[in-house]
Amino acid sequence: MYQIVKKRVLNPTVTLMEIEAPLVAKKAQPGQFIILRVDEDGERIPLTIADFNRDQGTVTIIFQIVGATTEKLNHLHEGGFLQDFVGPLGKPTHTEGLKKVAVVGGGVGCAIAYPVAKKLHEQGCEVHSIVGFRNKDLLILKEEFKSVSHMYALMTDDGSAGEKGLVTDALRRLIESGEQYDQVIAIGPLIMMKFVTKLTKAFDIPTVVSMNPIMIDGTGMCGGCRLTVGGETKFACVDGPDFDGFLVDFDEAMARGAMYRGFERQAHEEACNLFRGGKA
Amino acid sequence: MPNMSLKKNEMPSQAPDARNKNFLEVALGYTEEQALDEAQRCLHCKNKPCVSGCPVQVRIPEFIEKAAAGDFEGAYQVIAQSSSLPAVCGRVCPQESQCEKHCVRGVKGEPVGIGRLERFVADWHNQHVQEAPEKPASNGHKVAVVGSGPAGLTCAGDLARLGYAVTVFEALHTAGGVLVYGIPEFRLPKAIVQKEIDGLKAMGVKIETNMVIGRVLSIDELLEQGFEAVFIGSGAGLPRFMNIPGENLKGVYSANEFLTRVNLMKAYKTSSGTPIHRARKVAVVGGGNVAMDAARCAKRLGAEEVYIVYRRSEKELPARAEEVEHAKEEGVIFKLLNNPTRILGDESGSVQGIECLEMALGEPDASGRRRPVEKAGSQFTLDVDCVIMAIGTSPNPLIKSTTEGLETQKWGGIIVEEETGLTSRENVYAGGDAVTGAATVILAMGAGKTAAKAIHESLSKK
């Protein structure tokens, strides 16, 4: 069992938790992820490592409440326990040798983009952070990003915070104004990453995306997380989750991501009813 | 006077049309009377050919003699000296090609039901004996075992019996390897696996789950932590795909994924948080035990039609004869001498069908098996909404890629000395599917046993 040592509500749908897991904290690197199970009947879900503290032996996860499991997870409190917490899994994000990078984060993807931006910043890289949310209520990690970024651009779909528009609008403007990036790192919904790569490809700027397919074991034994990258089948849990954005088949990834939508909707409904009824 | 019946006592089992709708165990096991009667069929031959057919050399006539006298606990104690998992082996070993293959009674008539008797004795013990096995006196040595499948558990059990402090590191949240994620409940109830693991724990074996060796700790770090030897029993869990068009459509599974969802995550139960595609018509590609398990699970999840698509003929099916028989009884349809060429999808990216070619058997290839050749113009489409690929697995590269100096074959198998299981690294041993590629439970157990013996010989000299 793994104890929740801290819980912080970042916005109505996004929560941060620090979990006591010293062995995971000792090895964790930005870009890697963990798999957790809330309880004995629970499914295994992957979440990216948002931060870690090697001295205190804690790992930070940030999750959006999108279904039954994240709903249940969100109902746990400080001092409570998770059934299983395994990691670090996947390959760390490659940051060596980069001098100037645009880090693009969308929604809860910012939780994954932040540790990457932080590591780049620590390495002396010039970081331009471009983050996007649907509206101001969903904004997260503003101060954190600002503290590790040379430039911070905030976009919202409805203009309720920062500028109105999409992250691609801001990225296009920066590129067209003459900013020259060694690389763009995009982390967020598949549709956002797809359009970021469409843009950067036109300007021939190498682009890395962090993929988030359905996973079960996360150790390479099932292929549930497979993607087509450059015409080849790759397992995101061991070959990734980072891939060359120009080579990823996003449309296939989006179709595969929707595989269990019916089941998920129903399970989420049941979980919500359970909590509403005050039984949990 | 021995029982001279030419036939084995039948094993009572659930009726095919009832069992293909539930996940309860198919074979129900002998009653005491049936076990006593079957045990009387053993002739207690002097040269004991059955023992040489058992990869872990259970003293078969000796345990059967005790069973025939009604001393079931005594019989269990005889088996327990050689095997760590008798309730498992009695159920999943291919006895027809091991112990029972050599039984003298099999020359004329059927061999003694050794597997069924082993199963009976182990189940009897588990039901009647509550005391935990005695914890052996410590010898002060520490050994790490990577992987809690049949190889790792056997190695751990043998070493614990000799007084070693053994820690088993398992990547998943439940110990047992293929015994929990691969072999379904209806062939091997998980409570039985748990019972065997509890027995090892009582002997002092520590089991640490959620430990992916190669990520959270490396083999070298285990050695630095004071483990004097490491046994790698990490299996062959990396699934193969055919690399045909359409393999990434929604509804195409590796057998590993499908079986992990069903068996480990219990996706067949409504209480489980893990979803599974409830398919109408399913094609399982392959002809091994894994293919049979996947097909029979699909049937139990409610599929109307389940096909086994296999490119050779019935004679070449690698699955146990009994599993093929069971699958047929349960209504699985065999499409033999058929090879898939592509998987067809609809607009939403879901599986709609599988296109196959008929095959004929040509000349034997290098492996001695007749090579399937395509029949021109024989293309046809099976209407299915789910495809499960069960065409084999290979060792996961994670440990190899994080352990310097660990030599492996091109296909990923760890290279070891056959007599000891020693790898190219000092004090690092390996066995089971991690060495051989996908094989059987009992061969993995044999390898775990060999390595335990070698580790003991090496460490007791220190």
d(CA A264, nearest CA chain B) in Å:
8
pLDDT in tens, A29-59: 999 999 999 999 999 999 999 999 999 999 9
Instruction: Scan for tokens 């296999």, then name that residue.
Output: B310
Say if the Cβ atoms of A233 and B243 lie within 8 Å. Answer: yes
Cα B321 vs. chain centroid, distance in angstroms? Answer: 15
Predicted confidence (pLDDT) at residue B120 exceeds the cutoff of 90: yes
Radius of gyration in angstroms for the set of CA atoms belonging to chain B, rounded to a whole number: 23
CB-nearest to B349 from A27, A37, A255 is: A255
Predicted confidence (pLDDT) at residue A278 exceeds the cutoff of 70: no
Q: Quick check: helix, strand or coil at residue B186?
A: coil
d(CA A252, nearest CA chain B) in Å:
8
pLDDT in tens, A52-82: 999 999 999 999 998 999 999 999 999 999 9
Mean pLDDT of chain B, nearest integer: 93
* Range with lowest mean pLDDT among A21-35, A252-266, B302-316: A252-266
pLDDT category at A279 given cuts 50, 70, 90 is very low
pLDDT in tens, A82-136: 999 999 999 999 999 999 999 999 999 999 899 999 999 999 999 999 999 999 9
pLDDT in tens, B13-61: 999 999 999 999 999 999 999 999 999 999 999 899 999 999 889 999 9
Mutate to test the interface with A, among B208, B274, B386, B388 (most CBs of A within 10 A): B274
Nearest CA in chain B to A67: B273
Phi and psi at B356, nearest 5°, equal -130, 160
Say if the Cβ atoms of B237 and A85 lie within 8 Å. Answer: no
CB-nearest to B260 from A85, A222, A264 is: A222
- Give the amino acid at A17: M
Euclidean distance between CA atoms B94 and B196, whole angstroms: 20
| ipTM of predicted assembly, 2 dp | 0.92
Euclidean distance between CA atoms B148 and B378, whole angstroms: 46
Q: Does B226 touch chain A (CB under 8 A)?
A: no
How many percent of chain B have pLDDT more than 90? 81
Of B164, B169, B173, residue with least CA distance to B148: B169
How long a stretch of residues is chain B?
462
How many percent of chain B have pLDDT more than 70? 100
In this predicted structure, what is the pLDDT of residue B92? 87
Q: Quick check: helix, strand or coil at residue B303?
A: coil
Of B432, B453, B393, residue with least CA distance to B182: B393
User: Which residues touch A173 (CB under 8 Å, ≥6 apart)?
Assistant: none
CB-nearest to A226 from B172, B248, B277 is: B248
Nearest CA in chain B to A224: B257
Q: Does A280 touch chain B (CB under 8 A)?
A: no
pLDDT in tens, A235-277: 999 999 999 999 999 999 999 998 898 888 888 888 888 777 6
Q: Quick check: helix, strand or coil at residue B230?
A: strand
User: Which residues touch A97 (CB under 8 Å, ≥6 apart)?
Assistant: none
pLDDT category at B2 given cuts 50, 70, 90 is confident
Predicted confidence (pLDDT) at residue A161 exceeds the cutoff of 80: yes
A87 interaction partners in chain B (CB closer than 8 Å): 212, 215-216
A69 interaction partners in chain B (CB closer than 8 Å): 273
Q: Which of residues 229-268 of B touch A (CB under 8 A)?
A: 237-239, 241, 243, 247-251, 253-254, 256-257, 260-261, 265-266
CB-nearest to B171 from A24, A68, A219 is: A219
Q: Does B405 touch chain A (CB under 8 A)?
A: no
pLDDT in tens, B360-377: 988 888 777 788 899 989
In this predicted structure, what is the pLDDT of residue A20? 98
Predicted confidence (pLDDT) at residue B442 exceeds the cutoff of 80: yes
Q: Quick check: helix, strand or coil at residue B169?
A: strand
The DSSP secondary structure of chain A, one letter per residue, reads -EEEEEEEEEETTEEEEEEE-HHHHHH--TT-EEEEESSTTPPPEEEEEEEEETTTTEEEEEEE--SHHHHHHHT--TT-EESEEEEEESPPPP-TT--EEEEEEEGGGHHHHHHHHHHHHHTT-EEEEEEEESSGGG---HHHHHHH-SEEEEEETTSSSSEES-HHHHHHHHHHTT---SEEEEES-HHHHHHHHHHHHHHT--EEEE-----SSSSSSS-TTEEEETTEEEEHHHH-SEEEGGGB-HHHHHHHHTTTHHHHHHHHHHHHHHHHTT--
Euclidean distance between CA atoms B1 and A210, whole angstroms: 73
Euclidean distance between CA atoms A141 and B36, whole angstroms: 71
CB-nearest to A84 from B173, B238, B266 is: B173
Strands A207-210 and A183-187: parallel
CB-nearest to B396 from A42, A88, A220 is: A220
In this predicted structure, what is the pLDDT of residue A277? 60
Mean pLDDT of B288-303: 96
User: Which residues touch B241 (CB under 8 Å, ≥6 apart)?
Assistant: A223, A233, B247, B254, B389, B391
d(CA B308, nearest CA chain A) in Å:
20
Q: Does A33 touch chain B (CB under 8 A)?
A: no
Of B151, B157, B159, residue with least CA distance to B176: B151
Nearest CA in chain A to B394: A221
Predicted confidence (pLDDT) at residue A21 exceeds the cutoff of 60: yes
Q: Does A29 touch chain B (CB under 8 A)?
A: no
Nearest CA in chain B to A263: B275
In this predicted structure, what is the pLDDT of residue B321? 82
pLDDT in tens, B241-276: 999 999 999 999 999 999 999 999 999 998 899 999
| Tokens matching residue A137 | 């209520």
pLDDT in tens, B332-345: 999 999 999 999 99
In this predicted structure, what is the pLDDT of residue B390? 97
CA dihedral (B112, B118, B120, B124) positive or negative: positive
In this predicted structure, what is the pLDDT of residue B65? 95
Which long-range contacts link A74-77 to residues 24+ away (Cβ below 8 Å)?
Answer: A74/A15, A75/A275, A75/A280, A76/A4, A76/A7, A76/A17, A76/A38, A77/A4, A77/A7
